[in-house]
Amino acid sequence: MEIIKATGIHKTYNPDKIPVHALRGVDLGIEKGEFTAIVGPSGSGKTTLLNIIGGLDTPDKGSIIINNTDISSFKDNEMINFRRDNIGFVFQAYNLIPVLTAKENVEFVMVLQNRNLKERTERAEELLNAVDLGDKMDKRPSELSGGQQQRVAVARALASNPTFVLADEPTANLDSTTTANLLDMMLELNQKEKMTFVFSTHDQRVIDRARRVITLVDGKIV
Amino acid sequence: MKMILSIAWRNIWRNKTRSWVVIGSILVGIWSILFMLSFSYGLITTYVDNTIRYQSSHIQIHNPDWKEDQEVEFTLENTESVLQYINNQSYQSSATQRTLVNGMVRSSRGARGAMIKGIHSEKEGQVSHIDQKIVEGKYFTENKKNEIIIAQKLAERLKLKIRKKLVLQFQNAQGDIVAGSFRIIGLFSTANTLYDESFVMIKQTDLNRLLVLPNASHEIAVFLDDSKELAQVKSDIQNQFPHLLIEDYKEISPDANLYESQMEVSHRIFITIFMLALIFGIINTMLMAVLERNKELGMLMALGMNKTRVFFMIVFETLMLGIIALPFGLILSWLSITYFGKHGVDLSAFSDGMEQFGMSTLIKSYIPTELYFSLSTATVFTALLASIYPAIKAINLKPIEAMRKI
Ligand SMILES: Nc1ncnc2c1ncn2[C@@H]1O[C@H](COP(=O)(O)OP(=O)(O)OP(=O)(O)O)[C@@H](O)[C@H]1O
Ligand SMILES: [Mg+2]
C-alpha cells in the first residue's frame, strides 16, 4: 500500500516576476517501509518536493494523498496537527529546541500530542538509547556535537509514531564517520521499527545505502 | 500547557541581559510611578486632613437660611438637642456650637473685615484643635470677659501685639451697630494663613451678650475620630433633623473636594502614560526576541506546535517578565514610600507660596493600599497588551520561509 501518493505536482516560484519552475509534473508513490533517497543536482527541486510532501508548502497543481487523506484542502492549524501526528521531520540544521535537553526535545512532539508522562518518558528513553545517546539525555543541544544533534532529531522524528520520516539533507553538515553512523542508525530504525524514511542528499555514500533512489532533474523525475 | 510554560520560562533566560533590562525598566517604571503618586497623595491628603482638622471639621450644621445670607437672626433652634443626639451616638466624635457674625476688627492703626466666631472655649479645642495652634500667648482662660484670640498674620496687619486691645464692631439682631473692646490673649497660626486671617475668636457668652441673643448659635461643627463613618453619621443626623442644613467637609470646602477628585484624574493620567511607555518598550523587546528566533519558531510549527500554543508561548514570555518585575517594584516602592512617609521631604526651599494656601512644605509620601493592587493589575494588563503584537507576528510566520532565511 502506498502511504504517500503524489500526482502531477507543479510548483512555480515567483509566478509574476521571474518565474522559477521548481517542479514540473512530479508523480511519486512511496510504500510503507521504504528507505528512499531523492537525489539530483542543486536546484533540481528536492527541497521543494519534500516540503510539499511534508505539508510545509502547497503545490500549484497536483494532489498529495497521505494515508488516504488529501492534504491539499487543510487549513493552517489542521495542517499543523496533521504534521504533528503523521510526519517526522529531520532538517538540515536548526532542528532542536535550544532550551530543552535531548530527552525533552524528543518528548516535545509527544507533549504536543497530549500523551501521558510515563509513555513519553519511556519512549524518549527507548529512542535515545536506540540512537546511542542514552548517556546524553540531559544535555542541551549546545552541549552536543553536530552528529549527536542530528541523532536526537532522528529520535524525535520517530517519537510521535509518524507515518513516515522526511529528512532534507540530514547529513549535509556532518563529516563522513558521523554520516555513516547516522545512516546506520536510520537503517536500523527502518528495519526494527518498520519506519519509512524519505530523504534528500547529495552525498554519494548516502545514495549507496539507500534502497531506492529517485532522481530529480529540473523539476522532473528521471 | 506546562511544557509551554517551561519553554517560555527558559526562553526568557536565553538572553539574560535583555530580559534583565526589560525587567529593570518595568521595575523602575513601577517604582517611579508609585513614588511620584505617593507624594501627590501625601500632599493632597495632608491638605485635606488639615482642612478637616483645623477648618471645616467633618460636618457642619446650619440653619438653611443662614447659608444663603449670613444674617444674625438665622440661628439654630435646637442646638442643645442636636448636640445631645450626636453625643449619644455610638461613634466617637466631638461637637461644638458657635455664634457667628460678620464685622470689623479695628485697631488704632487700621481695620479689617472678619468673621467673628463666638465659641465654647473647651469644646472648640476638641473640634477645631485651635488650642494646639497658639503660637504666642495662651488659649482662653475660664471666666475672664472680653478676651480675643486672633491670627498672628492679622495681628501683624493691624500692627497689634499680644495683650493689646482692639475693637469689634457689628450689627446686632435689632440692626443696631454695637461695638466691644477686647484684649488679645493669644495669637494662632495654622498651615493656611489666608483662612486664619478671615476670622477672630471670642467666647460665645461675650458675643451673645453683645448681640442680645442669649442662647443663640449659628453653627454646630462635628469632628469624627474615624473619617470612614462620615457618610453614615451625616445621613443619621439628617434623618433625625430633616429641617437643618447638614454639610460635610467636601461641601463646606469645595477646594478639598476639588483636590481630591483632581488627584484621581491626574493619577489615572499618570498611570496611562506609564502603561503607554511600558507597552512600547516591551513590544520592541519582544519583537526582537521573536524575529531573532524566526527559524526556531518555524521549526516548532513544522513539528506540529499549533498557532494557539505558539501564541501563548510568546504571551507567557512577556507576562513572566512583568510578573518577575512586579514584586521587586512593589517592595522597592513600599520601602521608599514608608521611609519618606516617616521622614517626609522638605520642600520649603522651593515653595514659598505653598504655605499660604494651606499646603504643608514637609511632604510625607503616602499611598492607599488599593493603589498597589491597581498598579499591579495595570502592569500585568500592560504586559498582556504588549505581548499581543509580537505573538501575532510569531504565528504569522510561515514555517518554510522562516526556516529558509539565514
Ligand atoms: N522561495 C523560493 N523563491 C524562489 N525560488 C525558489 C524558492 N525556493 C526554491 N527556489 C528555486 O527553486 C528551484 C528548486 O529549489 P530547491 O531548493 O527545491 O532545490 P534543491 O534540489 O533542494 O537544491 P539544493 O540541492 O541546492 O538544496 C531552485 O531553482 C531554487 O532557486
Ligand atoms: Mg535543498
This complex has an ipTM of 0.91
**What is the per-residue pLDDT for A152?**
94
pLDDT at A23 over 90: yes
Domain ranges of chain B: 2-52+257-404, 64-243
Average pLDDT, chain A: 91
Residues of A in contact with B305 (CB under 8 A): 80, 84, 112
The secondary element (H helix, E strand) that includes residue A222 is none
Interval B24-31 mean pLDDT: 92
b/e sequence A71-106, b meaning 16+ C-beta within 10 Å: beebeeeebbebbbebbbbbbbbbbbbebbbbbbbb
> Which ligand 1 atom is nearest residue B404's CA?
1
Instruction: Please indicate whether, in this complex, the C-beta atoms of B303 and A108 are within 8 angstroms of each other.
Output: yes
Q: Which residues contact B223 (CB under 8 A, 6 or more apart)?
A: B52, B53, B57, B58, B93, B94, B95, B126, B127, B128
pLDDT in tens, B177-189: 999 999 999 999 9
pLDDT at A130 over 90: no
Nearest to B72 by CA among B184, B217, B198: B217
pLDDT in tens, B52-103: 988 889 999 999 998 888 888 899 988 999 999 999 988 889 999 999 999 9
b/e sequence A183-204, b meaning 16+ C-beta within 10 Å: bebbeebbeeeebbbbbbbebe
Instruction: Please indicate whether, in this complex, the C-beta atoms of B302 and A89 are within 8 angstroms of each other.
Output: yes
Instruction: Please indicate whether, in this complex, the C-beta atoms of B306 and A80 are within 8 angstroms of each other.
Output: yes
The pTM for the full model equals 0.79
Nearest to B299 among A76, A94, A113 (CB): A94
**What is the per-residue pLDDT for B406?**
41
Q: Cell 444674617 belongs to which residue?
A: B71
pLDDT at B147 over 90: yes
Reported as a pLDDT band with limits 50, 70 and 90, residue B346 is confident
Better pLDDT: B262 or A164? A164
How many structural domains are present in chain A? 1
Q: Which residue of B has its CA nearest to A48?
A: B400
**Residue B230, CA distances (Å) to A79, B108, B109, B126 in order:** 65, 45, 44, 17
Average pLDDT, chain B: 89
**What is the per-residue pLDDT for B360?**
61
B323 with B387: CB under 8 angstroms? no
Q: Which residue of A has its CA nearest to B308?
A: A77
- Is A3 strand, coil or helix? strand
Q: Which ligand is nearest to the CA of A167?
A: 2
- Looking at the DSSP bridge assignments, the partners of residue A164 are A87, A196
- Looking at the DSSP bridge assignments, the partners of residue B246 are B61
Count of C-beta atoms within a 10 Å radius of residue A27: 12
For the domain that residue A13 is a member of, what is the CATH number?
3.40.50.300
pLDDT at B45 over 90: no
The secondary element (H helix, E strand) that includes residue B167 is strand B165-171
Question: Residue with the nearest Cα to atom 24 of ligand 1?
Answer: A42
Q: Cell 532534507 belongs to which residue?
A: A168
Work out whether strand B93-107 and strand B219-224 pair parallel, antiparallel, or are unpaired.
antiparallel
**What is the per-residue pLDDT for B352?**
58
- Is B200 strand, coil or helix? strand
Instruction: Please indicate whether, in this complex, the C-beta atoms of B300 and A97 are within 8 angstroms of each other.
Output: yes
Residues of A in contact with B400 (CB under 8 A): 51, 56-57
pLDDT at B172 over 80: yes
**What is the per-residue pLDDT for B358?**
58
CA distance B73 to B173: 6
**What is the per-residue pLDDT for A10?**
95
Q: Which residue of A has its CA nearest to B12?
A: A99
Distance (Å) from CA B263 to ligand 2 centroid: 65
Q: Which residue of A has its CA nearest to B300?
A: A97
CA distance B369 to B34: 11
Q: Which ligand is nearest to the CA of A217?
A: 1
CA distance A122 to B313: 26
CA-based nearest distance B26→chain A, Å: 25
Length of chain B equals 406
> Mutate which of B303, B396, B405 to disrupt the A interface (most A C-beta within 10 Å)?
B303
Question: Residue with the nearest Cα to atom 29 of ligand 1?
Answer: A43
Work out whether strand B165-171 and strand B110-119 pair parallel, antiparallel, or are unpaired.
unpaired
pLDDT at B144 over 70: yes
Reported as a pLDDT band with limits 50, 70 and 90, residue B124 is very high
What is the distance, to the nearest Å, from the Cα of residue A172 to the centroid of all Cα atoms in its chain?
14
Question: Is B225 at the interface with chain A, CB within 8 A?
Answer: no
Backbone φ and ψ of A132, nearest 5°: 70, 30
pLDDT in tens, A140-151: 999 999 889 999
Interval B256-262 mean pLDDT: 82
Q: Output the nine-digit C-alpha cell for B168.
A: 469689634
Residues of B in contact with A99 (CB under 8 A): 7, 10-11, 14
pLDDT in tens, A24-75: 999 999 999 999 999 999 999 999 999 999 999 999 999 999 999 999 888 8
Q: Is A196 in the pocket of ligand 1 (CB under 6 A)?
A: no
Domain of A153 in residue numbering reads as 2-221
Interval A126-131 mean pLDDT: 90
Q: Is A11 in the pocket of ligand 1 (CB under 6 A)?
A: no
**What is the per-residue pLDDT for B379?**
92
Backbone φ and ψ of B201, nearest 5°: -120, 130
CA distance A30 to A196: 9
Better pLDDT: A123 or B346? A123
B79 with B217: CB under 8 angstroms? yes
